[in-house]
Structure 1
């Protein structure tokens, strides 16, 4: 810490006390993080490799699925490795620049995933409601534009505001968490947080509520389109339900935990529930995404088998 005034001390590092005094809990968390991170690396890595190497999967749906896997890998890598290291120490210390970088990257990749899930819902809507014009509407340029807009928008609503008005911390430097999680660190700001809180809720509405509303509208239209299919296309109905069902499961898991974390009014203390929610959307959801999308998808599994046979 550095003295900046008679009664204030500028924070240069944070002490993470979320699991201090609970060595057994930390060891259990460390095992969970190691296993989950291994599954995330292998699962999402395989999806990326399979989609890139198999020309049969060079379609808009798998292009966005590959983007989702990249985001999940980046999102998990911002917090899980550091969490594993922190589990080995009772009171881990993180320098302010490292802590701030972890927060910004977590917000960037988390927001990016919210927006991408909305884009994937639109892709499924076009594929089911306009199958004959699907490849024309969702052409290569459009897909790249949507992906670029997702990353750019996420950057503009998370990184730019934080860099334009850097946070200032003074006094208390104990974070009640295992990592530098945004809400836990936000409580330690030494300036007036009313404007920042309002901005956080506005950003949360833009990145959570609006995309979720768009996804809900898209799936209402998808359901109507599926029900209008002729009875002789029962196999098409089942395939459509299966494909959309995978996406809906991911949406419910991710948006549910995200809304619990950022739309519930803040308290001065970080509760155990907040820490569990953080673990859920940074560890559990990225771990289950490859299982939900790949193991229930015959095209992905077929491409994986062909890739393995070529390697042999």
Structure 2
């Protein structure tokens, strides 16, 4: 068993046993031991909101036929991504907040190293696809049903997942070499920009591969987003109906809020020079896009969406009627 000890002691223990290491120290928020219990309670609540909120979105779309449209099809993909992403990160983070032995197994380390970039990149592309859908729905409403067929939606979804895999997982597998000791990760989870500080020797190749992968999954989707929203802005401003403009702005603002938070933090994390690395700052940024943002997605998309609230009301009404005792 391990007793609580200083970071220097953890470093020396791992350095001495680096040849047979099966786990790594994951410091997370151990620099603030007095706040670990409040943080555990807070992040547990955030994780539950994320799980139940995103699961509720998926279930609601499945059981309510009025929500079975391309927009909510992509929203289900986003909700599914949010659940997987946070499940890969948060349970271990919560466990380590209360544990004296703050470590991560080598297998889980590998899983987080590959799963987290994959899920993060997939979310970037799904958000861009959703922006493209909004553009078609707003700027070409008469051709909407002809353009956004279920076949096209399925192809976009499959393409998003496929591009993400080849743009994030494959370069990562090629570029990341073995690490040197000490095997101490001063971060919330195993994330590539942080892991590069454990690489032996020159990391210019790894940094270049990371920027190339980020360009494919961040910059190109961001360019598509910008173009889509420029056309959306022009289309909305030329609408004659004030009610139509209000509805369009409401839908776009929800999506744009998520896009701004996610893309902004992601670009700073993956496309900045290594010299700008800051352990505490990176932890805060990672918490925003890996923990907080996924929990906000269902709240922003649902609480500001009349269609979702109406569908929820219909489902609750049907459930209440089904549970009521039958009149003999």
Tell me which of 170, 174, 181 is aligned to 1:171: 181
Question: Counterpart in 1 of 2:81?
Answer: 71
Question: Counterpart in 2 of 1:55?
Answer: 65
Q: Give the unaligned 5+ runs of structure 2.
A: 1-17, 321-328
Question: Counterpart in 2 of 1:253?
Answer: 261
Question: Counterpart in 1 of 2:104?
Answer: 94
CA drift of 1:46 comes to: 0.7
CA drift of 1:12 comes to: 3.6
**Aligned: 1:184 with 2:229:** no
The residue matched to 2:98 in structure 1 has which SS? coil
Contact 1:116 1:147 in 2 (8 A): yes
The residue matched to 1:229 in structure 2 has which SS? coil
Q: 1:294 to 1:21 in 2, by over 3 A?
A: closer
**Aligned: 1:133 with 2:143:** yes
Contact 2:175 2:209 in 1 (8 A): no
Question: Counterpart in 2 of 1:31?
Answer: 41
Question: Counterpart in 2 of 1:305?
Answer: 313
Tell me which of 104, 107, 121 is aligned to 1:111: 121
Question: Counterpart in 2 of 1:291?
Answer: 299
Q: Where do 1:236-275 residues align within 5 Å?
A: 236-267=244-275, 270-275=278-283
The residue matched to 2:104 in structure 1 has which SS? strand
The residue matched to 1:15 in structure 2 has which SS? strand
How far apart, CA to CA, are the structure 2 residues paired with 1:159 and 1:10?
27
The residue matched to 1:80 in structure 2 has which SS? helix
The residue matched to 2:274 in structure 1 has which SS? coil
- TM-score, normalised relative to structure 1: 0.92
Contact 1:44 1:73 in 2 (8 A): yes
Q: 1:21 to 1:272 in 2, by over 3 A?
A: closer
Question: Counterpart in 2 of 1:278?
Answer: 286
How far apart, CA to CA, are the structure 2 residues paired with 1:271 and 1:236?
46
Q: Give the unaligned 5+ runs of structure 1.
A: 1-7
Map Cα deviations across residues 57-77 of structure 1 (whole Å, 9 max, x no partner).
Answer: 111111111111011111111
How far apart, CA to CA, are the structure 1 residues paired with 2:37 and 2:194?
22
- TM-score, normalised relative to structure 2: 0.88
Instruction: Name whichever of 155-164 and 281-290 sits farther off.
Output: 155-164
Q: 1:100 to 1:53 in 2, by over 3 A?
A: same
Q: 1:11 to 1:225 in 2, by over 3 A?
A: same
Contact 1:20 1:91 in 2 (8 A): no
Question: Counterpart in 2 of 1:145?
Answer: 155
The residue matched to 1:179 in structure 2 has which SS? coil
Tell me which of 156, 163, 166 is aligned to 2:166: 156
Structure 1 runs (4+) deviating above 6 angstroms are none
CA RMSD in angstroms comes to: 1.9
How far apart, CA to CA, are the structure 2 residues paired with 1:222 and 1:268?
35
Number of residue pairs the alignment of both structures matches:
304
How far apart, CA to CA, are the structure 2 residues paired with 1:22 and 1:227?
49
Question: Counterpart in 2 of 1:45?
Answer: 55
Contact 1:10 1:171 in 2 (8 A): no
The residue matched to 2:29 in structure 1 has which SS? coil
Contact 1:47 1:66 in 2 (8 A): yes
How far apart, CA to CA, are the structure 2 residues paired with 1:244 and 1:160?
33
